[in-house]
């Protein structure tokens, strides 16, 4: 009889919990549909009024006003222009952080939309066009919508949510700190201490309605590098009187390509070393004294990353010395690997599959793009995933290009995914 009573109690509790969960999910779906038009309106505002990294002043004001209007605890000027909203639920429980990046790029928009950006800004001392050419405008709008829905459902929330609106994901201006690294340094994951962090990125080559994920490393680490090659200036008709930094630089570029092709165990992970900028000389018949180069390093394995650094230094200096030139290499601090905690990913995968439909959730290979969301993941378990922004039958222009285009229908899935991740994580790990 006692066993039967216990079994009956268990069934009643399980049924009640299931009904409560189903009801919450229905509310989330309903509110996500109802708020979709507002989310699109927010996105169009930010798209039409983009701001560069560490200069997102008006963007931050609009975000802060929305969070204040919701009655959240709001912190501003974090990492220069970052905004954080804190929502404390009806009961004590885990602390979940949700992040959206808010900066735009120095790109002149070429798309033909009514809310096209004509904004101008200053980048590296030059006036430039400014465009949300990577989808950060959609990320802001999605997280604003998530904040509104979760605030409305506060009484059902057994925990705390931190809404992190992060500046300078694309990199702080030269000579400045910024982005996720500075936010972490300033304590954004503390007081209250965050237990898990979730982030998403809209993708212009993933169909609307799909989600892409990967446990472990999903995006590469990134480091930029600078090389200065110093030779001896001479008349172009008498190269034997000088030391040619242009020929030396050409040899360095060619030799650098052997780092990946001959030094990396590519069956383990991908890696990239690219020279993207080279400057030297002012006249066709003058061998210059100096050439400068800039490039990028991408890796999906920390051991391989460190090996690239060593090989790059050896090749640059040795190649220059073999020509009688001098080369200086500077490897700049970058972003770590965007690493999805495998246990957290496995725990939350059923949520993503339920929200998007199992057939619409795809396991992908790691990509060599980079994300400073990785700094949050170095501190606490994190999950970063992609949502589709490519219209059915559409063609992707590519991120960071003047023709970058996102189908706004993809944002609703982002809202639903984030809200459901919060409730499911808190219900599964509640204290």
Alpha-carbon distances, residue 64 vs 60, 68, 83, 159, 326 (angstroms): 6, 6, 6, 22, 51
Can you tell me the distance from the alpha carbon of 214 to that of 362, in angstroms, rounded to the nearest whole number? Answer: 9
Phi-psi region of 124 (alpha: psi -120 to 50; beta: other; left: phi over 0): left
Q: How many CB atoms lie within 10 A of CB 37?
A: 9
Order of all β-strands in the sheet with 73-78: 73-78, 82-88, 158-166, 91-101, 196-207, 382-390, 211-213, 361-363
Query: Is 408 among the catalytic positions?
Result: yes
Task: Give DSSP secondary structure letters for 180-228.
Answer: HHHHHHTTTTTTTTPSEEEEEEEEEEEETT-EEE-SEEEE-EEEEEEEE
Contacts for 125 with CB less than 8 Å, ≥ 6 apart: none
Contacts for 69 with CB less than 8 Å, ≥ 6 apart: none
In contact, 284 and 236? CB cutoff 8 Å: yes
Can you tell me the distance from the alpha carbon of 159 to that of 425, in angstroms, rounded to the nearest whole number? Answer: 10
Q: What is the 3-state secondary structure (H, E, C) of 323-391?
A: CCCEEEEEECCCECCEEECHHHHHHHHHHHHHHHCHHHEEECCCECCCCCCHHHHHHCCEEEEEEEEEC
In contact, 195 and 128? CB cutoff 8 Å: no
Catalytically annotated residue among 213, 335, 384, 425:
335
Can you tell me the distance from the alpha carbon of 209 to that of 222, in angstroms, rounded to the nearest whole number? Answer: 29
Can you tell me the distance from the alpha carbon of 242 to that of 231, in angstroms, rounded to the nearest whole number? Answer: 7
Can you tell me the distance from the alpha carbon of 231 to that of 344, in angstroms, rounded to the nearest whole number? Answer: 53
Alpha-carbon distances, residue 264 vs 259, 261, 273, 365, 367 (angstroms): 7, 7, 11, 18, 17
Can you tell me the distance from the alpha carbon of 173 to that of 54, in angstroms, rounded to the nearest whole number? Answer: 7
Tell me the backbone φ, ψ of residue 225, rounded to 5 degrees: -140, 155
Catalytically annotated residue among 51, 181, 212, 408:
408
Question: Which of the residues are catalytic?
Answer: 335, 408
């Amino acid at each position: 009889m006692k066993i039967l009573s216990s079994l009956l109690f268990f069934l009643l509790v399980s049924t009640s919990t299931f009904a409560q969960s189903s009801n919450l999910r229905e509310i989330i779906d309903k509110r996500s549909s109802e708020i979709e038009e507002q989310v699109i309106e927010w996105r169009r505002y930010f798209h039409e009024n983009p701001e560069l990294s560490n200069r997102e002043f008006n963007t931050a004001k609009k975000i802060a006003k929305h969070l204040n209007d919701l009655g959240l605890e709001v912190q501003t000027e974090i990492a220069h222009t970052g905004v954080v909203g804190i929502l404390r639920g009806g009961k004590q429980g885990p602390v979940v952080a949700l992040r959206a990046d808010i900066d735009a790029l120095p790109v002149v928009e070429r798309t033909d939309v009514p809310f096209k950006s004509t904004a101008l800004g200053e980048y590296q001392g030059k006036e430039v066009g400014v465009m949300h050419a990577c989808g950060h405008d959609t990320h802001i709008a999605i997280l604003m919508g998530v904040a509104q829905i979760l605030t409305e459902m506060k009484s059902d929330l057994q925990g705390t949510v931190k809404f992190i609106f992060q500046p300078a994901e694309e990199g702080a201006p030269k000579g400045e700190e910024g982005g996720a690294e500075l936010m972490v340094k300033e304590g954004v994951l503390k007081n209250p201490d965050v237990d898990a962090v979730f982030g998403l990125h809209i993708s212009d080559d993933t169909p609307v309605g799909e989600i892409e994920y990967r446990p472990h490393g999903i995006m590469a680490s990134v480091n930029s590098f600078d090389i200065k090659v110093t030779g001896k200036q001479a008349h172009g008709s008498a190269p034997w009187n000088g030391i040619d930094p242009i020929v030396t630089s050409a040899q360095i570029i060619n030799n650098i390509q052997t780092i990946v092709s001959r030094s990396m165990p590519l069956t383990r992970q991908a890696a990239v070393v690219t020279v993207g900028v080279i400057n030297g000389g002012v006249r066709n018949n003058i061998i210059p004294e100096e050439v400068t180069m800039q490039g990028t390093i991408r890796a999906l394995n920390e051991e391989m990353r460190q090996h690239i650094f060593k090989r790059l230094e050896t090749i640059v200096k040795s190649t220059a010395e073999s020509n009688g030139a001098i080369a200086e290499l500077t490897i700049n601090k970058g972003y770590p690997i965007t690493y999805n905690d495998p246990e957290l990913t496995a725990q939350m995968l059923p949520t993503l599959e339920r929200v998007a439909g199992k057939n619409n959730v795809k396991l992908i290979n790691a990509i060599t793009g980079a994300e400073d969301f990785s700094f949050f993941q170095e501190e606490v378990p994190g999950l970063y995933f992609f949502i589709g922004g490519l219209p059915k039958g559409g063609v992707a222009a590519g991120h960071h290009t003047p023709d970058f285009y996102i189908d706004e229908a993809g944002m609703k899935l982002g809202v639903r995914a984030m809200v459901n991740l919060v409730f499911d994580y808190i219900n599964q790990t509640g204290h």
